[in-house]
Amino acid sequence: MMSKGPDDVFVVDEVGQLNAWGIQLDAAFHPPLTKELFRRAWETVAHQYEYGDPGYGAIGNTAYGNKTLVPRLGWASGWDDHLERVEVPGAAPYLIVGGVGGEASFSAALIDYGDTFQLRVLSDDFLTEYNRYTLKGWQLADPRTKIYDLR
């Protein structure tokens, strides 16, 4: 962006750019609560997204910036394969999982509040909450998603 001249234009048009630079988007985009959404939430809070040429990657990957690199289950920056969806009458639905974070062995819950999602990072026995992150729906879109697709 800083290399542009006074007559040049730099266009921010992908969700990953917004996440990487901390730019907020006013968009009502609410994806369904799925395993893929949990994976994106974990990647977003654990690594954030880097934006650069040729593409996107998680900061935790040594080859970030290469969009062909996809984090796998079982990595230190990864997540477990087993997720349980829970719906309690009168409460927000959520996904809960143990063993995310690879060797770190955290547990986590992704809670759907209707207008936002909240990722809670827990101890492996689910008794201690280490942190919680509130994420808007657009933040959990594929980072290469064009912003105009979220309108």
Distance CA 64, CA 58 (A): 6
Enter the tokens of residue 148.
């105009």
Contact 109, 119 (CB under 8 A): yes
Preceding peptide of 54 cis, ω within 30°: yes
**Residue 5 forms part of a structural domain:** no
**Residue 110 forms part of a structural domain:** yes
**Residue 9 forms part of a structural domain:** no
Identify which has the larger pLDDT, 22 or 75: 22
**Residue 43 forms part of a structural domain:** yes
- Domain total for the chain? 1
**Residue 7 forms part of a structural domain:** no
b/e 108-143 (16+ beta carbons within 10 angstroms → b): bbbbbeeeebbbbbbeeeeeeeeeebebbbbbbbeb
Q: What is the pTM of this model?
A: 0.74
**Residue 96 forms part of a structural domain:** yes
* Sequence-ordered list of residues with C-beta below 8 angstroms from that of 113, at least 6 positions apart, any chain: 92
What's the pLDDT band for 30 if we cut at 50, 70, 90? very high
**Residue 8 forms part of a structural domain:** no
Which residues make beta-bridge pairs with 117?
112, 135
**Residue 131 forms part of a structural domain:** yes
Distance CA 108, CA 77 (A): 13
- The pLDDT tens digits for 50-82 are 544 334 444 344 333 444 445 444 444 455 567
- The pLDDT tens digits for 120-146 are 988 888 899 988 999 999 988 888 888
**Dihedral angle sign, alpha carbons of residues 119, 105, 122, 95:** positive
b/e 77-98 (16+ beta carbons within 10 angstroms → b): bbbbeebeeeeeeeeeebbbbb
User: Residue 143's domain spans which residues?
Assistant: 15-150
Cα–chain center distance at 126: 21
